[in-house]
C-alpha cells in the first residue's frame, strides 16, 4: 500500500488529507463521564464523521461549479472526531498497536507534558496558564470535535445536534470556540493580515504532481498511518490505528498590536530603512496576498500571485544570505525547502505538516491603538502528521525557536545548534518562534547585516493537546464494548 485506494478514502477522515476548507468552524472539546457513555458517544459521532472521499469529492465539485458559474452554490457541513491519549486510557484501550518511538511517547504524554520539547516554558506559554480544561492535572480533554460549514446557520444546527448527543452520553463539553475566516470571500486572512494555508504538502499519488520549484511530493505515511513514510517505515497494521493520523492542536493567541509595533520598530543601520509593510512581509516571508518574497522581493503584486514554486538556495533564486526572504522569516524557518541545511536530520522532507488552521476571535481594526482582549484572538492551529515529535515538535523547537538554525553548528548529540562559526545567528522566527524580548534577528541587506531586537512574543500558546484522528472503521470498533 503506497497511497490511498478509493476504498481507503472512504475510511480515512476528511479533516486531514482532503481538508474541510470551510469559512465557519467550531472546535468542541469533550470530557467523557464514564467509559460506557464514551463508547456510546463515539458510536453516535461515527455516523457524523466525514470521510476523505466525501470531502475530497465535494471540494473538486465545488471548485468546478465555481469556476464554470462564478457562484458558490454547493454547501456542506463536515465533522471530524479525534481522541486524546487520555480518552484511550479511559476506554481501556492500550496504545500498543502504535509504533514504538518518540512520536508515540509524545502522544501518550500529551502536549502539556511535552512543554520542554516545544519550549512552552515561558510564563506566557506555560501549560499552567492555559485554558482550564487543558491545564496539567485538570482531568484532561478526551475528544476534539471539529465542525466545518459553509453557513453560520448550518454550523449552529450541527453544534446543537452534537451538544445534545454529548449530553445524552453523560459527557461534558469542557471548551468550545468558534473559528471563522476573516476578511470574506477572496480576501481570507489570519489576524496579522496574511493569507494562510496556501502551502500544503503534496501527497504522493493523491495530490497533483508539483510544478517546477514547488516542494517535492511527500509519501502518504507522513500523514496517515499504515502507508510508507519518508523513512520507508509503515509498521502500523492494527485496525485501531491504520488509516488514522495524529493531530497537534494549539490555541495560539495573536497580539496584533504587538505585531504592528514590531513592524514599526527601527532596524538600526538598515539602508534603506524598511517601512512597516515590508518589515511585516519579511517577518512572514510572504506579502498579505500570499505572494512569496522570494519571487516578489520589493512589493506585493496582489492576489493571484500566491505561488508555491520557489526555493531559497538554488539558481535562479540564489538567496542563501536571505536578502530577499530572511532566513528567520516564518515560512523559511517552518519549511526551509532547499536551504543549505547543516545536517541530514534537517531534511525538510522529514518535517512536513498538513495545516488545517482557522482564526478565532474578532479582527482588531487597523486603526485600533489599544487592545484589552489580546488573548482572545488567534489561530486554532491543527497540524495533521504521522509523527508529532518528528514533524510538529521538531519544527517548533529546532527550526522556529532556535536562533542558530539554519546557519549554526549542529550539536554532536543531535538536537539543537551552536552559534554559526562566523557571523551572528539569524535569530528565531519573530512571528511564531518562542523568544524573550531583546533577543535578536539579523536583517541582511546588500550593504551589510543589521541585528535588531525583538519585542515580546506576538504568538503565545493558550491551550493545546495531541489527538488521534482514527479511521471511521476504528471509530466504530472503539464504540464496541471491549
Residues that bind ligand HEM (CB under 6 A): 190, 192, 194-199, 252, 254, 284, 286, 290, 330-331, 334-335, 353, 355, 378-379, 381, 392, 395-396, 400, 432, 459
State the Cα–Cα distance between residues 224 and 105, nearest whole angstrom.
Answer: 18
User: Shortest distance, CB of residue 318 to ligand HEM, whole angstroms?
Assistant: 18
> C-beta of 288: minimal distance to ligand HEM in Å?
9
Q: How far, in Å, CA of 391 to CA of 433, rounded? A: 16
Give the rounded distance of the alpha carbon of 340 from its chain centre. Answer: 24
CB of 309 to ligand HEM, least distance (A): 11
Map grid coordinates 476534539 to a residue: 144
Identify which of 389, 394, 400, 285 has the alpha carbon closest to the alpha carbon of residue 334.
400
**285 Rama class: left (phi>0) / alpha (psi -120 to 50) / beta:** left
Rounded to 5°, angle at Cα 395 from 394 and 400? 125
- Measured from the CB atom, the residue of 226 and 290 that comes closer to ligand HEM is 290
CB count within 10 Å of CB 135 equals 16
Q: Is 309 left (phi over 0), alpha (psi -120 to 50) or beta?
A: beta
38 or 336: whose CB is closer to ligand HEM?
A: 336
Q: Which DSSP helix (H) or strand (E) runs through 283? A: helix 276-284
DSSP β-ladder status, 378-385 and 245-254 = antiparallel
What's the rounded Cα separation, in Å, for the pair 443 and 424? 11
Nearer to ligand HEM (CB atom), residue 432 or residue 474: 432
Least distance to ligand HEM, CB of residue 210, Å: 12
CB of 190 to ligand HEM, least distance (A): 5
The residue sitting closest to ligand HEM, measured at its beta carbon, is: 199
Which CB atom, from 12 or from 432, has the smaller least distance to ligand HEM? 432
Q: By three-state DSSP, how is residue 376 classified?
A: helix
CB of 400 to ligand HEM, least distance (A): 6
Minimum CB separation from ligand HEM for residue 286, in Å? 5
Of the pair 171, 379, the CB lying nearest ligand HEM is at 379
Under 8 Å between Cβ of 209 and 425 = no
Q: Pull the grid cell for residue 364.
A: 482588531
Nearer of residues 39 and 333 to ligand HEM, judged by Cβ: 333
* 461 vs 474 by CB, closer to ligand HEM: 461
Amino acid at each position: 500500500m503506497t497511497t490511498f485506494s478509493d476504498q481507503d478514502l472512504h475510511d480515512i477522515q476528511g479533516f486531514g488529507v482532503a481538508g474541510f476548507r470551510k469559512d465557519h468552524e467550531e472546535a468542541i472539546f469533550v470530557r467523557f463521564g464514564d467509559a460506557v457513555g464514551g463508547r456510546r458517544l463515539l458510536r453516535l459521532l461515527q455516523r457524523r464523521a466525514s470521510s476523505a472521499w466525501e470531502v475530497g469529492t465535494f471540494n473538486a465539485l465545488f471548485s468546478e461549479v465555481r469556476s464554470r458559474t462564478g457562484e458558490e452554490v454547493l454547501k456542506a457541513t463536515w465533522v471530524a472526531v479525534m481522541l486524546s491519549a487520555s480518552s484511550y486510557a479511559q476506554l481501556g484501550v492500550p496504545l500498543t498497536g502504535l509504533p514504538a518511538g518518540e512520536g508515540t511517547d509524545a502522544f501518550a504524554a500529551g502536549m502539556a507534558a511535552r512543554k520542554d520539547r516545544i519550549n512552552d516554558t515561558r510564563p506566557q506559554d506555560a501549560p499552567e496558564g492555559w485554558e482550564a480544561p487543558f491545564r496539567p492535572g485538570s482531568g484532561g480533554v478526551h475528544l476534539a470535535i471539529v465542525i466545518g460549514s459553509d453557513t453560520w446557520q448550518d454550523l449552529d444546527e450541527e453544534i446543537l445536534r452534537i451538544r445534545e448527543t454529548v449530553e445524552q452520553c453523560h459527557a461534558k463539553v469542557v471548551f468550545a470556540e468558534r473559528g471563522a475566516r476573516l476578511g470574506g470571500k477572496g480576501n481570507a486572512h489570519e489576524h496579522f493580515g496574511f493569507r494562510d494555508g496556501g502551502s500544503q504538502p503534496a501527497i504522493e499519488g493523491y495530490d497533483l504532481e508539483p510544478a517546477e520549484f514547488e516542494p517535492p511530493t511527500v509519501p502518504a505515511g507522513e500523514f496517515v498511518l499504515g502507508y510508507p513514510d519518508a523513512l520507508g517505515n509503515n509498521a502500523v497494521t492494527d485496525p485501531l490505528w491504520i488509516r488514522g493520523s495524529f493531530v497537534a492542536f494549539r490555541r495560539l493567541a495573536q497580539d496584533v498590536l504587538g505585531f504592528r509595533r514590531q513592524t514599526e520598530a527601527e532596524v538600526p543601520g538598515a539602508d534603506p530603512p524598511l517601512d512597516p509593510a515590508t518589515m511585516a512581509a519579511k517577518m512572514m516571508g510572504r506579502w498579505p496576498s500570499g505572494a512569496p518574497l522570494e519571487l516578489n522581493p520589493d512589493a506585493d503584486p496582489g492576489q493571484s500571485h500566491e505561488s508555491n514554486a520557489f526555493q531559497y538556495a538554488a539558481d535562479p533564486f540564489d538567496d542563501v544570505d536571505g536578502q530577499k526572504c530572511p532566513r528567520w522569516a516564518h515560512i523559511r524557518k517552518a519549511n526551509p525547502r532547499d536551504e543549505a541545511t547543516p545536517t541530514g536530520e534537517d531534511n525538510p522532507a522529514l518535517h512536513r505538516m498538513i495545516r488545517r488552521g482557522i482564526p478565532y476571535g474578532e479582527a482588531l481594526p487597523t486603526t485600533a491603538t489599544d487592545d484589552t482582549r489580546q488573548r482572545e484572538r488567534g489561530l486554532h492551529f491543527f497540524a495533521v502528521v504521522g509523527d508529532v515529535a518528528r514533524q510538529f515538535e521538531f519544527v517548533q523547537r529546532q527550526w522556529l525557536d532556535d536562533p542558530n538554525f539554519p546557519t549554526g553548528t549542529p550539536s554532536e548529540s543531535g538536537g539543537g545548534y551552536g552559534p554559526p562559526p562566523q557571523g551572528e545567528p539569524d535569530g528565531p522566527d519573530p512571528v511564531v518562534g518562542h523568544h524573550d524580548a531583546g533577543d535578536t534577528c539579523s536583517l541582511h541587506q546588500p550593504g551589510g547585516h543589521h541585528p535588531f531586537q525583538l519585542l515580546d512574543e506576538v504568538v503565545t500558546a493558550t491551550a493545546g493537546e495531541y489527538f488521534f484522528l482514527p479511521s471511521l472503521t476504528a471509530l466504530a470498533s472503539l464504540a464496541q464494548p471491549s
